[in-house]
Structure 1
Amino acid sequence: MEINNISNIQNQYEQTRQESEQIDAGELNDNLTKLAANNEDEALKAAINDFMSIFMQQMFQSMRNTVPDDGIINGGYAEDVFTEMLDEEISQTGSEQGLFKDINRQIYQQLSGE
């Protein structure tokens, strides 16, 4: 019984993760549509920020895939879920700070024609 519950939870998590990726891409598409329709600077900044957040999340995921997983303690599925959620939160916060803020500014300047 317990194995079936874990399997169901894993399936639900994978489905939710895929839906959240589609939402992120959908939000980015919506922001770009707003930009095309209204040519607003705020919509452009939001789209750039969303892009940088997705970029950072993909970067973290790629970096983690290069690290061997076999250690003394294996967190298993729960650790994978936590790590993915942590990466998402860090990428959303980090896309507005430091070097990424400068990259956002440069992308904005290029796209806005400044």
Structure 2
Amino acid sequence: MIDRINDYSNRLNLIEKPEIQNLLREEKQIRGARSFPEALREEFNEKLSGKVSSSEVRMPHNIREEISADPYRKKLYDASVEFESVFVKMMLKEMKSTVHKSGLIEGGYAEEIFEDMLYDEYSKNLSANSSLGLAEQIYQSLSSNLPPVSKLNAKA
């Protein structure tokens, strides 16, 4: 089992990469001063209105801003990443159980222990990068029940 929760905010640092910054600048020049949610609303109204239920279209929100503004949301995000890591470890363990060993090289009990530790590290590394996205989906699902961050800031 994973003993501690690491700071996984580096998963959300994709927007700070130079390639992404260049794309955002180009998009801003093309689209003008409109924000992404405004452009999304316009595009939805033009192309999808009447074809897709508006309840299926969700506006994006910035997880990084939310977890930096509210420590409870940070804990929720960390727990989501931890859940993803445990899920990935269980998945890897089940995948390993489908591969049969030939018996040529047996490591015994020590091999089992070290393989379990190896799969712990694999699951941490897979969860540390944003390749799966399960933690973000879990966070968004659970945080939808919390009050908006703007209301929290107004009370403080």
When normalised by structure 1's length, the TM-score is 0.60
The corresponding residue for 2:78 is 46
Distance in 2 (alpha carbons) for counterparts of 1:77 and 1:109 = 41
The separation in 2 between residues aligned to 1:91 and 1:54, in whole angstroms, is 7
Map Cα deviations across residues 49-69 of structure 1 (whole Å, 9 max, x no partner): 111111111111111111112
2:112 paired with 1:80: yes
CA distance in 1, matches of 2:134, 2:81: 10
Equivalence for 1:3 = none
Residue 21 of structure 2 corresponds to which residue in structure 1?
none
TM-score (norm 2): 0.45
Offset at residue 39 of structure 1 (A): 7.5
Equivalents in 2 of 1:92, 1:50: separation in Å?
Answer: 8
Cα distance in structure 2, aligned partners of 1:87 and 1:71: 21
For structure 2, the 5+ residue unaligned runs are 6-69, 149-156
Deviation of residue 99 (structure 1)? Answer: 2.3
1:87 CA drift (Å) = 0.4
Partner Cα separation in structure 2 for residue 105 and residue 75 of structure 1: 38
Q: Which residue of the other structure, out of 135, 140, 145, is the alignment partner of 1:104?
A: 135
Residue 65 of structure 1 is matched in structure 2 by 97
CA distance in 2 between partners of 1:94 and 1:88 (Å): 10
Partner amino acid for 1:111? L
Identity of matched residues, %: 37
Instruction: Name the structure where helix makes up a greater proportion of residues.
Output: 1
Equivalent in the alignment of 1:55: 87
**Which ranges of 4 or more aligned residues in structure 1 deviate by more than 4 Å?**
none
**Equivalences, count:** 81
Segments of structure 1 that go 5 or more residues without pairing to the other structure are: 1-20, 29-37
